[in-house]
Structure 1
Amino acid sequence: MKLDLERSLASMREQLASYCEKKKIEDAIVVGIHTGGVWVAEHLMSAVPTNEPLATLDITFYRDDFTKAGLNPKVNQTLLPAIEDRHVILVDDVLMSGRTIRAAMNEIFDFGRPASITLAILYDLGQHELPIAADIVGEQLTLNPDQRVKLTGPQPLGFSVIDTH
């Protein structure tokens, strides 16, 4: 599978700038989901009309599989400014089932009620289990059921397609 990470990120920046202009979004809060979403969000900040620093979200305790046996999470820090009535651009590396995004939105709403949430995803695998779709997509991927995308980073940012069996 030949993917061009820089092309996907450039496409996302272009889509995001256009989206913000069309929706008249100013001074948005860009929120990266730990860990890959933060890395991707760092590459998108230049395309977003904002004076806010990058915000980060750790959804570990909001996951619906947190109590499953063997889950040993590495917890990162959530750093969110006041989000009440603000436009949030939520960024993650891969959209698969939609469960991570559902958990992220649950946590965001625990901090307040944003004016809107825009979802920006580097790779959409199209294997959604929940009715969640991204507004901004770097690239749509079709993988075999036993394959996953693994992002590496932060510098340099890279990825690989791995077999899970």
Structure 2
Amino acid sequence: MLSGTLSVDALLERICSETRAQIAQRNIDNPLMIGIRTGGAWIAEHLHRELGLETPLGVLDISFYRDDFTQVGLNPKVQPSQLPCAVEGRHILLVDDVVMTGRTIRAAMNELFDYGRPASVMLITLLDLQRRELPIQADVVGGTLALGADQSIKLNGPEPLTLTIRQRD
């Protein structure tokens, strides 16, 4: 079984290159990048800087939109979402660290649509753990990883960004 710390440099380079290509292919002008707090926001900061995007970076805190809110309770560090401009009619680059079941992305899209109707949403993720419970697929993926049932993954950061795979007790 895989365990330990993984470097994210190659994954970041891959999603940066692929995101740049997707923006050009789709002819997207001046997209709005939004990171999902916390790990997605850290990755979005890196991508935003590397891509040289003009519009300031946005951050979503989806705590109140989660469907497991009553089961796991509130994150003790709930912070407001920060969107630098309207999402109505904008091309959105939505960034998260790990896509697993699809539930976090569903919550993020619900919140986004409460702010308005974007022209499009491109989902960017560092890792895809491929354990879908909802039919959500990332457009740009740094890599895929199959974890054992007794393993979990955590992004540590923001500087340096590292992925840690842990054995559950």
TM-score (norm 1): 0.94
Correspondent of 1:133 among 126, 129, 137 = 137
Q: Hey, what's the Cα distance between the residues in 1 that align with 2:93 and 2:61?
A: 15
Query: Which residue number corresponds to residue 55 of structure 2?
Result: 52
Correspondent of 1:83 among 74, 83, 87 = 87
Structure 2, unpaired ranges of 5+: none
Contact 1:26 1:49 in 2 (8 A): no
Contact 2:87 2:116 in 1 (8 A): yes
1:29 aligns with 2:32: yes
Query: Which residue number corresponds to residue 103 of structure 2?
Result: 99
Q: Hey, what's the Cα distance between the residues in 2 that align with 1:22 and 1:49?
A: 17
Q: Hey, what's the Cα distance between the residues in 1 that align with 2:36 and 2:106?
A: 12
1:121 aligns with 2:129: no
Contact 1:31 1:57 in 2 (8 A): yes
Q: How many residues align?
A: 164
CA offsets 1:135-159 (integer angstroms, 9 cap, x no match): 0001110110121210011111112
Give the secondary structure class of the aligned counterpart of 2:69: coil
What amino acid sits opposite 2:137 in the alignment? A
Q: Percent identity of the aligned residues?
A: 47
Contact 1:8 1:138 in 2 (8 A): yes
Contact 1:63 1:100 in 2 (8 A): yes
Query: Which residue number corresponds to residue 146 of structure 1?
Result: 150
What amino acid sits opposite 1:24 in the alignment? N
TM-score (norm 2): 0.92
Contact 2:95 2:123 in 1 (8 A): yes
1:48 deviates by 3.9
Q: Hey, what's the Cα distance between the residues in 2 that align with 1:4 and 1:152?
A: 11
Contact 2:33 2:48 in 1 (8 A): yes
Give the secondary structure class of the aligned counterpart of 1:67: helix
Superposition CA RMSD, Å? 1.4
